[in-house]
Amino acid sequence: MIKPLFWQKDQLFIVDQTLLPVKYKRIEIKNHLDMADAIKRLAIRGAPAIGIAAAFGLVLGLKPFTNASQDSFFSKLAEISDILRNTRPTAVNLSWALRRMKNLAQSLRDAPVPLIWERLSNEAQQIHQEDIDMCLRIAKNGQSLIPRNAGILTHCNTGGLATGGLGTALGIIITAHKSGKNIHVFVDETRPLLQGSRLTAWELMQENVPFTLIADNMAAYIMLSGKTDAVIVGADRIAASGDAANKIGTYGLAVLAKYHKVPFYIAAPSSTIDPSISSGKEIIIEGRSGTEVREIFGVKIAPEDCPAISPAFDVTPNSLITAIITEQQVFRPPYSFK
């Protein structure tokens, strides 16, 4: 099973995803500032994965303060949580994991500080394991929707690298393949940062799943050709209405799928559902540097300093989503997650 991070004897190592597929390299994350930097520069990414990463980042940041006073420890906890929470605004798993860690610490307010830190360390490991277990259940729930012979189009990266392990949308695809189904995947390259061509293609090769890499603007052609039986993508935040934020380009795929009568599925853990927002209009969309559009890995592909935008996500309205697959169940319209 491909995993994005590894906790070993109070040390954390992550796979630097900015180096893939050219190089697989684990780097050590020594403190919360290292983790904040890794999340910002997408060395670790994917909504579930950055939630797990934030929990471990909090543990690492607090490690030097295990002999501090209660007040100093909790002041540092609040400071570190804010730094980690502000790294990426769209994915709800990040704030969810930090809130869970803070609530645990508050419940232990009168305990010795070293014990609180140890319990937080155990909680981060538990969050990691729970996500792996959720991915396995998502895969089980989702593969029943996949025909025996199926062409599946996916966008961005939703495999083990984006989660605790196995993946959400990609986990369903891999599990269906391993169950004996005849699966062929069409992998969107996912401009501007190419998570599809760099990461999803790499993961599918490790799992020996048949696939074809396509440019994002080929999706309509593939659907029109009749080669697509389903579109399966992940999500970074799902509103109470079922509107879902995912990697930029997802909304366009959903529109195309609706026109071509292709089922459009979202796969995500229940921690991605944010009941505090009623619709996708309330989801904050992360805006990244236009340089990501003007350049590919430092190579200029547009006139220098020409105007460019790089929204990291878009929101797909619930009316375009056939079903939302979680570890709990497969939800269908009208969406209610109670």
236 catalytic? Reply is yes
> Using an 8 Å Cβ cutoff, are 83 and 33 in contact?
yes
Contacts of range 131-134, beta carbons closer than 8 Å, 24 or more positions apart = 131/48, 131/51, 131/52, 131/163, 131/164, 131/165, 131/269, 131/271, 132/1, 132/163, 132/164, 132/165, 132/166, 133/327, 134/48, 134/164, 134/269, 134/270, 134/271, 134/326, 134/327
User: Which residue is catalytic, options 16, 131, 236, 243?
Assistant: 236
Which residue type occupies 68? A
Which residues are catalytically annotated?
236
